A = this chain, B = another copy of it.
Amino acid sequence: MTSKSLHGEIENRLVEHELRYTSARKSVVAALITSDGPLSASELHDEFGGSVPLSSIYRSLVVLEETGILAPHLGTKGLTRYELAEWLRGHHHHFVCIDCGAVEDVAVDDTHERSVDAMVNEISSRVAFTPINHALEIEGRCARCA
């Protein structure tokens, strides 16, 4: 999906909810399209050189999450990072550096993904839990920290 069509999809989604695709929201989305991993509010704030106030970034993140455009990344201590939802960005997993905390996306080929899917379904069928999604976090050291 091109960056342009992504913005279009997102604008549609917001309009369906009677919300506007404002410049703050566009900035957040644009940064996340470019980024190679999820970003936190303060990382976005830095990315914008402080031009967008933190409170506006937080409010944008709330709205974009509520409308299913962004998803929180469950993988960092003490802060929340966000990324584009799967329908926009495709399924993938993460590397998480145990030293510097950086998070990087990683693509997974179909063969492996199918075996993970099978495993998730098999496991969930044994307990009272309805699986909706899964996330494989690979913890280790990134090139810089190794």
Contacts and interface: CB of A to CB of B under 8 A. Distances in A.
A146 interface: yes
Interface of A: 72, 74-80, 93, 95-96, 98, 104, 106, 108, 112, 115-116, 118-120, 122-124, 127-143, 146
A124 B142 contact: no
B104 A129 contact: yes
Contacts of A80: 77-78
Contacts of A79: 78
A108 B123 contact: yes
A138 B143 contact: no
Contacts of A136: 116, 119-120, 134-137
Contact of A115 (B78, B119, B139): B119
Contacts of A141: 129-130, 132
A83 to B, nearest CB: 14
Nearest to A107: B123
A143 to B, nearest CB: 4
